[in-house]
Amino acid sequence: MNEYFKKNGGSILQKVDNVKIFSKDELKKITKNNSEVLGQGGFGKVYKGTLGDNTIVAVKTSIEVNEARKDDFTNEVIIQSQMMHNNIIKLLGCCLEVDVPMLVYEFAANGNLQDILHGDGNIPLPLHLRLDIAIESAEGLRYMHSSTNRTIRHGDVKPANILLTDKFIPKISDIGTSKLLTVDKDFTMFVKSDVYSFGVVLLELISRKPTIYGENCSLIIEFQQSYDKENSGRMMFDKDIEIEEDILILEEIGRLAMECLKEKVEERPDMKEVAERLVMLRRSRKGGQGSYSISPQNFEEISIEGTPKSFGAEISESSNAAVSAPATPAN
């Protein structure tokens, strides 16, 4: 048995139902000897691969390994393998025959939200699509926080870690940074850090500005000052979606984001409330209602699972979309 296989927890992971153990030779064939790089950074590289059934996958490799965290790797893989949600990137398997384990994930053809929002492509993003991305990302985090038999904090929620499929379905990624929390009286305080980070994502979605922009301007501070002075975030909204009939919707999204960013952790909503309020805004917008106020004291309890799916909500069973420049969503 390969020494790395044993060191990387192979004897345990080969018994996990939802994780396929790939050999080093199999991954060489799948990635065609790492011939196509999908992305890279300080963490390592991600390669495009194709399985035997023509399913396209992403193979993640790390440049180096933190020896102190090797013992955590097995638990992290098991946790990821148990997360079954349309808005969380699916771990398909891993290769343990190398010093630094390689992870095989489902493929997201449109890259990450960071590049879509702030990259050079200037891809049109209508408000209904931004709402869909916000809602479904919130659903993924809600699932991590409260819909599994364990509470999981992501710990690094940001647009770069929200991947988008060919149909612009968002997938929460980089689950390896997540923390498994003991369910006690304090666990809700820890997951509220994800709520704060998601509030920043909401601001980026409605402004199409990064957290630091212009001449060292802070997106959070600029929004806060706008609401403090004018009780409105209008001056910060992306001009491409700032049409008169959607101003109230944008204002409510902005106010919800500011609630997520409250300094006192206990005053922030949880992800369940965030997702439900966003769903209500989508319903109101579709129904053309005149009032969009969804403050915590008057929003109703609703079931997200029961809401009709909108653009991009039908998940494709096939992951074999070709890699290309991000597609232009329908208006």
60 has binding-site annotation = yes
Domain enclosing residue 55, as ranges? 8-106
Count of domains for the chain? 2
Same domain, 240 and 257: yes
CATH number (domain holding residue 57)? 3.30.200.20
- 274 and 195 Cβ atoms separated by less than 8 Å: yes
Enter the pTM of the model: 0.84
Q: Render each residue's pLDDT in the chain as its tens digit; 331 residues.
A: 578 888 888 988 988 888 999 999 999 999 999 999 998 876 789 999 999 999 999 999 987 666 666 667 888 888 888 899 999 999 999 999 998 899 999 999 999 999 999 999 889 999 999 999 999 999 999 999 987 677 888 999 999 999 999 999 999 998 865 665 544 445 566 789 999 999 999 999 999 999 999 989 999 999 999 999 999 999 999 999 999 999 999 999 999 999 999 999 999 999 999 999 999 999 999 887 544 555 554 444 433 443 333 333 332 333 333 333 445 565 5
Please tell me the predicted confidence (pLDDT) of residue 311.
30
- 252 and 202 Cβ atoms separated by less than 8 Å: no
Residues with a known catalytic role: 156
Chain-wide mean pLDDT for the chain? 84
CB-based contacts of 67: which residues, under 8 Å, 6+ apart?
none
Asked whether residue 128 is assigned to any structural domain, the reply reads yes
Q: What's phi and psi for 213, nearest 5 deg?
A: -140, 170
Q: Write the CA distances from 44 to 40, 41, 80, 171, integer angstroms.
A: 6, 6, 19, 20
Q: What's phi and psi for 153, nearest 5 deg?
A: -95, 130
Lookup: tokens for 132 = 């869909």
Please tell me the predicted confidence (pLDDT) of residue 314.
31
Same domain, 98 and 117: no
Same domain, 35 and 70: yes
Same domain, 158 and 131: yes
CB-based contacts of 203: which residues, under 8 Å, 6+ apart?
209, 219, 220, 223, 236, 254, 257
Angle at 305 between CA 303 and CA 306, to 5 degrees: 70
CATH number (domain holding residue 228)? 1.10.510.10
Q: Write the CA distances from 311 to 114, 250, 328, integer angstroms.
A: 20, 19, 13
Asked whether residue 154 is assigned to any structural domain, the reply reads yes
